[in-house]
Amino acid sequence: MTGASFLRILKGAASAAVVALSLTACSLPGSGPGEREAWLEANDPFEPLNRAIFGINEAADFLVIGPAAYAYNAIVPDPVRESVRSFTANLLSPITIVNQLLQGDFDGAIHATGRFLTNTVLGAGGIADVATAAGIPDQKEDFGQTLAVWGFNEGPYVVLPFLGPSSMRDATGYAVDTLADPVRMWAANTDHEGAYMAKGIAGGIDRRSRVLKEVEDLRRNSVDYYATLRSLYRQQRKADIEEKAAVAQPDFPAFEKTPEAPAKKK
């Protein structure tokens, strides 16, 4: 995908979003019984706009991103894909380190710094993930997670053009991480914006290529794919933030009587 066509799609998405926004800005709770609770639970006041952007993202995925990811998977040999993955992941390490520090997780910061140095020096600039092989697994931290540690709620759900599911908090975090990204600063200061953008696109295609089957499965088995992704995103973020230590379990009450199986009527 060339930069120009990418920008054109981006522009198209932006103008479609503006149209959608001016048509229907917010969803409002219905007046039926329990509808207000359902509306609050969904925590998605921008749902009409979100669904519009989601539709555009899906179209882009169908036309460009998905096919590119399939082709990437089919054409590029495994070891090369591994290297792309390691290289782009390694470039994110400084963001993780800073966020570990901001979260007061000094052990995590030391761990991430060790990874970064190991992979940069011994892994030939990050193309080989020798740290994981040596038993130091990657654990990404972003500013959205830092905000969560600082006590910010996730806020309403938002769907970002091309980036997909997010929340007010996580989108803010993403913006801060991007601005503070040393790789981006280096690219901006040395006229390497093209390389930075290429890195972003390669990373995106790579990420998409890792979930080909999962996406197909979800699309096939969902009755409301948008709502499914919304729920998956939230739960995943919650699990990442709480690092599986104390994920609140949903309540599974005992129902007074288990409903009859439909086959045998009472």
Partner 1 sequence: MFDRTLTGRRALLKSVAGFAAAATLPLIARTALAQDPGASAFIQKLGDRAIKTFSDKGTKAAAKEKFRALLVEGFDIPYIGRWVLGRYWNVANDAQRQEYMALFERMIVDAYAGRFAEYSGETFKITGARPEGDADSTVTTQIVRPSGPPINVDWRVRKAGATYKIIDVAVEGVSMGVTQRSEFASVIQTNGGQFDGLLKVLRAKVAG
Which residues contact partner 1 (rule: CB under 8 A)?
A: 30, 32-35, 37-39, 41-42, 151-155, 168-169, 213, 217, 220-224, 226-228, 230-232, 235-236, 238-240, 244, 246-247, 249-250, 252, 254-255, 258-263, 265
In angstroms, what is the minimal distance from the CB of 64 to partner 1?
A: 26
The Cα–Cα gap between 52 and 117 comes to 43
Q: At what angle do helices 66-75 and 193-209 cross, to 10 degrees?
A: 80
In angstroms, what is the minimal distance from the CB of 127 to partner 1?
A: 19
Q: Which is nearer to partner 1, 9 or 69 (CB)?
A: 69
Q: Which is nearer to partner 1, 11 or 140 (CB)?
A: 140
In angstroms, what is the minimal distance from the CB of 81 to partner 1?
A: 12
Q: Which is nearer to partner 1, 107 or 266 (CB)?
A: 266
Taking alpha carbons only, the member of 150, 149, 196, 141 closest to residue 174 is 141
In angstroms, what is the minimal distance from the CB of 160 to partner 1?
A: 17
In the structure encoding, which two tokens stand for residue 153, read together?
């709620």
In angstroms, what is the minimal distance from the CB of 108 to partner 1?
A: 18
Q: Which is nearer to partner 1, 191 or 253 (CB)?
A: 253
The Cα–Cα gap between 191 and 152 comes to 36
> DSSP 3-state assignment of 138?
coil
Quick one: CA dihedral 13, 15, 19, 22, positive or negative? positive
**CB-based burial, 134-149: b 16+ in 10 Å, e otherwise:** eebebeebbbbbbbbe
Q: Which is nearer to partner 1, 30 or 114 (CB)?
A: 30
Q: What separation in angstroms does the CA of 219 have from each of 213, 214, 222, 224?
A: 10, 9, 6, 9
In angstroms, what is the minimal distance from the CB of 165 to partner 1?
A: 13
Q: Which is nearer to partner 1, 75 or 246 (CB)?
A: 246
Task: Indicate the residue type of 65.
Answer: I
In angstroms, what is the minimal distance from the CB of 6 to partner 1?
A: 29
Q: Determine if residue 34 is left, alpha or beta; phi over 0 gives left, psi from -120 to 50 gives alpha, anything else beta.
A: left
E strand residue ranges, 91-245: 157-160, 164-167
Q: Which is nearer to partner 1, 4 or 261 (CB)?
A: 261
